[in-house]
Amino acid sequence: MSNKRIHDAIHHHIGEGTVFSKEEEVELLTKLENHQVPPAKRRWFPEVLSLSLAGAAVLLMIGLIGSQTGLFSFLGGGQPDKLDTSLLKESEIHGLEEMSEEQKKEFLTRQPKSYYAESVDDALNALPFKLNLPEKLPFDSEFVVEGVNDWHFPSNTDGKDISATFRAANGNHFILVEAVDFEQEFIESGNQSESSLEKVELKKGVQGDLEVKNDGGRIQFKDKRGINLKIYLHDPEKSYDAREVLVDLANQMVD
């Protein structure tokens, strides 16, 4: 063993940073050369352990925050458990000026809490369910957010009975996509004599109901998660084959 290696061993390995006198160094050098000094024992470093505990605490905090605020929707962890209102802005309700406070309170208990988003991505990330909007449209346009509603009555704090509407338009033509994560009961209006209704099969065996009208049509179906989806096409000039367009749009939403 060279003197340099022995010297390094004394100061960095055996001595663990201790400064020795010349006499002690000579004695240690002699023992090393005669193989009388046992190898240094491995030890746990407090600073390394502290860093590990700190890292675990940070990960735990991220997990707690992400599960409550929908942070994991940005980190690839899926949709939030309930509507993430931190990504939305509450819509103002107009027309209440003439009502008394009691009338306002009664009226608001029967209305959904309405929100809007600054971007489609914000709206999609805020939803408690995954939604795939069609990307290939029959005309040049992009979707915008029409609105997001929390229909939980009367407190509107559950964040689970949600509907979301998106719209893409070009001139007199528009497409409306509506997603609802609960069952709705309503009465359809309009002249049914000028429409035709048929059952259609979409991708992956998904069944849909298609209605074609003189100015467009609609298709409704339920995805594998139980989300009720509706697509409306408004085409007053009859520029497109409504059946072909609606089926194609629906298939783009099936995953």
pLDDT, tens digit, 9 for 90 and up, residues 40-52: 444 444 444 454 4
Q: What is the pLDDT of residue 160?
A: 80
65-115 confidence digits (pLDDT tens): 443 444 444 444 589 999 999 999 999 888 788 888 888 888 877 788 899
| Best mean pLDDT range from 70-84, 123-137, 145-159, 174-188 | 123-137
- Which residues does 98 contact at the CB level (< 8 Å), separation at least 6? none
Report the pLDDT averaged over residues 149-166. 81
What is the C-alpha separation between 115 and 86, in angstroms, rounded?
A: 11
Strands in 113-116's sheet, in edge-to-edge order, are 89-90, 113-116, 144-150, 162-170, 173-180, 228-234, 216-222, 207-213, 196-201
Report the pLDDT averaged over residues 1-22. 51
Domain boundaries along the sequence of the chain: 3-33, 82-253
Secondary structure of 17-78 as H, E, C letters: CCCCCHHHHHHHHHHHHCCCCCCCCCCCCHHHHHHHHHHHHHHHHHHHHHHHHCHHHCCCCC
- Across the chain, mean pLDDT equals 78
Q: What is the pLDDT of residue 8?
A: 55
State yes or no: pLDDT of 169 exceeds 60.
yes
Q: What is the pLDDT of residue 36?
A: 53
Lowest mean pLDDT among 36-50, 76-90, 123-137, 162-176: 36-50
Dihedral of CA 121/127/128/134: which sign?
negative
Tokens of 188: 């359809």
State yes or no: pLDDT of 5 exceeds 90.
no
Partners of residue 156 on adjacent β-strands: none
Q: What is the pLDDT of residue 107?
A: 81
Tokens of 136: 């290939």
Lowest mean pLDDT among 20-34, 75-89, 121-135, 224-238: 20-34
What is the C-alpha separation between 18 and 215, in angstroms, rounded?
A: 89
Report the pLDDT averaged over residues 164-189. 86
